[in-house]
Chain A
Amino acid sequence: MKEQIWSKKKIRNKTILSFVVFFVMMGLAYCSWKWLFTQPEEAGALRPLRAVLKQNEKIFQPLVSQNHLTKTYPIEKAEKKVRVNGWDGMESPLDTNWNLKVVRTNGDTVYITIDDIKKLPKTDIVFDFKCVEGWNQITHWAGVKFSDFAKYYKLDKETQMQYVGMITPDKGYYVGIDMPSAVHPQTILCYEMNGKELPLDQGYPLRLIIPVKYGVKHIKRIGSIYFSNAKPPDFWAEEGYDYFLGL
């Protein structure tokens, strides 16, 4: 440590200057924190925080790669009692004539039955399901890969777009998903859990399983699917959560 001889006056002036700067900066920090909470909300999040979340999305979405896979487990590891979290979009009774509605970019609407979906190649996945709340559970699901589904129904133009939107039949729950995550090889339109038909509380007849996202994006009881270059509305992103929620 360097040593010097200073006059008492110099010591006093330097000390005062340092403390003034210190208290001004601490005051500024405190005021900025207070200011933050006076800011208007955008979709449930304080505007400056929302701006950073959007920026984070811009940084991390391009990193989503078809080669980066979520860890998978052997079937024996899968939980038998699968947690149910949330009934939004499933409060009304399920229409017995359920069809999956797919809206193509040219405006055409295709209706697909669950039997048609089950005819497509089936993919099983056992992975650690992660909820934003902080819990996680190794669970076993099966269905058709979204990418296989899109290929079969010739949704090539659609998958060139930036986002997929999915909505429950009663429009009570809806998600928006960026295309790289939607066509990720582990993303499936799911109709089976633990080797059996999907239970009603898990989104029978068809739900989304998207391991590269938190649980809120795994929409249950899908009614319709559409494609867009603008961000489709998203249930929890309107409540202050990040839109992207990519893992």
Chain B
Amino acid sequence: MENKKVIHKHPLAIRWLHWINFPLLAIMIWSGLLIYYANRVYKLDIGFTTLTFFPEWFYDAIGMRSRLAEGMALHFTFMWLFAVNGIIYFLYLIFSKEYKLIFPHRGALKEAWVVLLHDLHIKKGLPPQKKYNAAQRIAYTGVIILGFFMIITGLAIYKPAQLNWLCAACGGYEAARIEHFIITILFALFFLVHIIQVIIAGWANFSSMITGFETKKIKPDNNERANLEQEKNQK
């Protein structure tokens, strides 16, 4: 039978942790919204208009009315799983040296700009990359940092008296709540871009997050190619 080249892209642990995180993050955001609903006061003033988080039709659409107790119970249950999964993921990156493929390398910022221009169809050609390009490295590392601050600000809100030093480090109770909220918005934005990019990248890329590998046709190497040509010429 024909053979193919298999490129091992995502280690088993990363795939499991990634897919465990997916529903957990969804539950954390959902229960967080149930909590936010009880006092939905955050607004964004951008000069000419005021953005409210969120319009009332949004709550109607997702069937959310006065479920604070349920939201808190869910949030304070699934926080453990969400945090533990995130911490295991981080430790795995460090100890498996996988972080070398994810954390930005030197000159990543400049390269990320080129990637952005390419993705927006402004410029052709991508810089050479390993597992991820510079823009991906920055985005994935950024989301790990956000996760870290999610836990920090969450703890500051959860125990502002017992961990008053942590609450103070976040700029106080109100600031910690706003930070926690902004990080959620950023998570949602990351998710949106992530989904779009996955769709654009296509099936093989998506499938590799489940199987771990991508396949490639085996290109004949130079010697083989020479042999083939010789055979052709002889004929």
- List residues of A whose CB falls within 8 A of some B CB: 1-9, 11, 14-15, 18-19, 22, 25-26, 29, 33, 44-46, 48-50, 52-53, 56, 60, 63-65, 68-71, 128, 130-136, 211-212, 236, 239-242, 246-247
Q: Which of B31-39, B108-116, B117-125, B137-145 lies at the interface with chain A?
A: B31-39
Instruction: Establish whether residues B70 and A69, one from each chain, have CB atoms under 8 Å apart when the complex forms.
Output: no
| B210 surroundings in chain A (CB, below 8 A) | 18-19, 22
Number of B interface residues in the complex (CB < 8 A): 48
Residue of A3, A49, A69, A236 touching B73 (CB-CB under 8 A): A49
Contacts of A247 in B (CB 8 A): 159-162
Given contacts A22-B210, A134-B39, A241-B69, contact A3 B5 (CB under 8 A): yes
- Using a CB-CB cutoff of 8 Å, which residues 1-32 of chain B contact chain A? 1-9, 19, 23, 27
Report if B193 contacts A (CB, 8 A). no
Contact with A along B177-191 (1 / 0, CB 8 A): 100000000000000
Decide: A22 and B19 in contact? CB cutoff 8 A: yes
Complex Cα distance, B35 from A240, in Å, reads: 13
Question: Does B76 make an interface contact (CB < 8 A)?
Answer: yes
| New A-B pairs, 7, CB < 8 Å, besides A4-B8, A247-B161 | A1-B7, A4-B5, A8-B2, A14-B213, A53-B73, A68-B164, A134-B38
Inside 8 A of B218's CB, which chain A residues have their CB?
A: 5
Task: Compute how far the CA of A2 lies from the CA of B131 in the bound complex, rounded to whole angstroms.
Answer: 11
User: A63: nearest residue on chain B (CB-CB)?
Assistant: B162
- Return the contact of A1 from the options B69, B130, B159 (Cβ within 8 A): B130
Chain A hits for B73, CB < 8 A: 45-46, 49-50, 52-53, 240, 242
Is the pair B131, A1 in contact by a Cβ cutoff of 8 Å? yes
B8 touches A1 (CB 8 A): yes
Which residues from B are CB-within-8-Å of A71?
A: 160, 164, 167-168, 172-173
Contact bitstring B40-66, A, C-beta under 8 A = 1, else 0: 010000000000000000000000000
